[in-house]
Structure formats: structure tokens, C-alpha cells
Amino acid sequence: MKNKVLAMERGDLKCTECGDRCKPARIRAGKAELRGWRCQKCGYEVISPRDVERAYNLLKAQEPSEVRISKRGNSFMVTIPAAIARSLGIDKSTLAEILLEEDGRIAIRVKTGG
């Protein structure tokens, strides 16, 4: 299976919508870029098998999740759902900034690159 995926990613694909050729392309999914193919004729897009799980995690991360606020010492804690953590590539050692925005929302910005 791995060899088939590699061979598929090296070449063009036939569009299932119009029959023309799909060329390798970067596909935008929200703020993320996924590998795949785009038909030059009709615009049909196919996501690479290597990025399907990432695309799924991005979709799951965009669904609202209800989380419980808990207390630890003098601070309050909110858990981050696993789908969001996976889609951002964060783990228990990732640093983030948290701030209160003017509209009353709490924003968390994940720090990247150390």
C-alpha cells in the first residue's frame, strides 16, 4: 500500500468529475495547507492519502466542544480536546499564550518554533 501511495503522489491523477488530469497542488483547508491534486479544468480537489488523517482532525477540531473549567490552586484550567491538539501538533511540552480579548473571549495562541 505504501508503494502505491508513493507512486500516486509522484504523478497526475484522472479527475473523477470531468475526466481531465489533476495536477499536484496544495489544498487549503481553513488555515492549513494539505497535499493533494487539483483538476485544471473543473477545480475538483483530491487530498493526499498521507494528509487524510490531518484533514479529519482539522474538521473535528472545528466542531464545538464543551469542556469543564476546573480549579487548581488559585488558577483555573480548561482542557484542550484531543482533536484540536492533534490538528495543531501540540503535546504536553508545548508553550502557549493566553489572553482576554476585548469581546470577552479567551484566546490561546500556541507558540511554535521553540
Closest CA to 43 of 76, 65, 21, 62: 21
What string of DSSP letters covers 30-82? TTEEEEEEEETTT--EEE-GGGHHHHHHHHHHTS-----EEEETTEEEEPPPH
Q: What percent of the chain has pLDDT over 70?
A: 87
**114, pLDDT greater than 70:** no
Structural domains in the chain?
2-58 (2.20.25), 69-110 (2.10.260)
The strands making up 21-29's β-sheet, listed across from edge to edge, are: 13-14, 21-29, 32-39, 45-47
pLDDT of residue 32: 75
pTM for the whole structure: 0.56
**65, pLDDT greater than 90:** no
pLDDT of residue 6: 52
Average pLDDT over residues 29-58: 86
Cα 5 versus chain centre, distance: 20
